[in-house]
Amino acid sequence: MEHLALQELEAEAKRCLDPKIADYIAGGADDELTVRANRAAYARVGLVPRVLTGAGQPDLRVTLFGQTASMPVLISPTAFHKLAHEEGECATARAARRAGVILIASMASTVALEQVAAAAGKTWFQLYLQPDLGWTEDLVRRAEAAGCTALVITVDSPVFGHRSRDARNGFNDLPAGMRCENLRETVGSTSRVRSIVFSPELSWKELSWLRERTALKLVLKGLAHPADAKLAVACGVDGILVSNHGGRQLDTVPSTLDLLPPIVEAVDGAIPVFLDGGIRRGTDVVKALALGATAVGVGRPVLWALAMDGEQGVLDMLETLRAETERALALTGFRCPGQLNTGILRMQPAEEPWWN
Ligand SMILES: Cc1cc2nc3c(=O)[nH]c(=O)nc-3n(C[C@H](O)[C@H](O)[C@H](O)COP(=O)(O)O)c2cc1C
């Protein structure tokens, strides 16, 4: 049976999710303009294939920080997988392993990172830097010990975005019995659970502090401005994940596909640039890669697939995206992701660059 396309998963998943949870997953900040922009951007870019290239069978493998992934698709970090399925992040992690992709494990997970990393194999750990640096360092050491190869520092969240749907639904807490397992700490004999602190005090100073304390690769997630991309390179960061948090933080941030080219230009090949937000089709993957992304991430489709059919659902979703990406690559006349370039893109007439 043919599997559902990624954007079809939302409607199906809704049938097995509490409406408040479905809204938590699908929703974005304020008027959700950025959520829509992320998708709309792909319709504005056309693919103009090359023919008779003799490319041969597509080979999607990519090597990221020395690790080979079976395709240039990452699982972006999303919080609280037990909201979608009782096995939570364990099911997602097993699917990632079976598909041979890298899982970016969210700090806000309902299964402890050690368990997630053991199940996934190739794991990067997503971290919100906490103002309590001692505690942040403890968590970094746990990620190192668990075998994670990179830290993905989310920098688009000095405060929490305003999620209109959650506000309307009064959805502001995890259901009883579920908690953020990475935030448990034991003080003497009493065990308590912290909550994640979003702090507007954090700056490049804390990032430099982290750079000095870990040999793990550092990827900054949520960068939008090319000037910040340059600061990131100067700070010794190893990669940038261009992201607007799936439109859940600052509304009216442009689509990530629009943000990507100026960042690729600013970085000038010094470090890899990744992208997430609105990736739903193999042609989307090909367009982002042609514009300079080394790999892309998927967020919401993972949770929809998980809600529908647990580990198998996530695996089916990833295999659908793989088949579509292979097909799009072959139809544009290429064999490997690294060969893609802007020559096959027909962009809507460019506006004045907004970033100067
Ligand atoms: C339900 C949900 C939870 C998320 N939780 C996190 C998180 O804990 N950390 C983080 O850095 N990003 C988080 N994100 C953002 C994703 O990593 C990613 O940037 C975004 O979902 C990509 O867009 P897409 O959903 O259109 O694929 C979350 C997104 C969603 C939808």
- Phi and psi (nearest 5°) for 41? -60, -35
Is 245 tagged catalytic? Answer: yes
- Among the atoms of ligand 1, which is closest to the Cα of residue 39? 26
Sequence-ordered list of residues with C-beta below 8 angstroms from that of 233, at least 6 positions apart, any chain: 267, 270, 271
Q: Is the CB of 221 under 6 A from ligand 1?
A: yes
Q: What pLDDT is attached to residue 173? A: 87
Q: How far is CA 351 from CA 219, 307, 347, in A?
A: 30, 40, 11
**Minimum-distance ligand 1 atom for the alpha carbon of 152:** 11
Question: What is the rounded CA–CA span in Å between residue 9 and residue 43?
Answer: 19
Nearest residue to 273 via CA among 304, 248, 294 = 294
* CB distance 276 to ligand 1 below 6 Å: yes
Ligand 1: centre distance to CA 75 (Å): 10
Mutational test site, ligand 1, from 33, 78, 106, 174, max ligand atoms within 8 Å of CB? 78
> CA 1 to CA 65: how far, in whole Å?
36
Atom of ligand 1 nearest to the CA of 25: 1
291 Cα: distance to centroid of ligand 1 (angstroms): 22
Question: Nearest C-alpha to atom 4 of ligand 1 is from which residue?
Answer: 78
10-residue stretch averages of pLDDT, the chain, 356 residues long: 91 97 98 97 97 97 98 98 98 98 97 97 96 95 98 96 96 89 66 78 97 98 97 98 98 97 98 98 98 98 98 98 98 98 86 55
Separation between Cα atoms, residue 33 and residue 96, nearest integer Å: 30
Please tell me if the CB atom of residue 136 comes closer than 6 angstroms to any atom of ligand 1. no
Q: Is the CB of 246 under 6 A from ligand 1?
A: yes
**Ligand 1 pocket, 262 CB below 6 A?**
no
Q: Give residue 318 CA to ligand 1 midpoint distance, Å.
A: 17
- Domains in the chain, ordered, with CATH? 26-339 (3.20.20.70)
HEC profile of the chain: CCCCCHHHHHHHHHCCCCHHHHHHHHCCECCCHHHHHHHHHHHCEEECCCCCCCCCCCCCCEEECCEEECCCEEECCCCCHHHCCCCHHHHHHHHHHHHCCCEEECCCCCCCHHHHHHHHCCEEEEECCCCCHHHHHHHHHHHHHCCCCEEEEECCCCCCCCEHHHHHHCCCCCCCCCCCHHHEEEECCEEEECCCCCCCCCCHHHHHHHHHHCCCEEEEEEECCHHHHHHHHHCCCCEEEECCHHHCCCCCCCCHHHHHHHHHHHHCCCCCEEEECCCCCHHHHHHHHHCCCCEEEECHHHHHHHHHHHHHHHHHHHHHHHHHHHHHHHHHCCCCHHHCCHHHEEECCCCCCCCC
Residue 193: what pLDDT? 62
Catalytic residue among 81, 85, 162, 245, which? 245
Contact 104 CB / ligand 1 (< 6 Å): no
Closest CA to 181 of 131, 83, 129, 107: 107
pLDDT at res. 184: 75
| 291, 260 contact by CB (below 8 A) | yes
Distance 104 CA to ligand 1 centre (A): 10
- Backbone φ and ψ for 332, nearest 5 degrees, come out as -85, -10
Spatial neighbors of 91 by CB under 8 A, at least 6 apart, are 81, 85, 306, 310, 311, 314
Is the distance from the beta carbon of residue 28 to the nearest atom of ligand 1 less than 6 Å?
A: no
Q: What is the dihedral of CA 5, 9, 10, 11, to 10 degrees?
A: 100
How many angstroms does the Cα of residue 74 sit away from the middle of ligand 1? 12
Residues 313 and 12 sit within 8 Å (Cβ to Cβ): no
Instruction: Compute, in angstroms, the gap from residue 26 CA to the centroid of ligand 1.
Output: 10
Euclidean distance between CA atoms 126 and 123, whole angstroms: 10
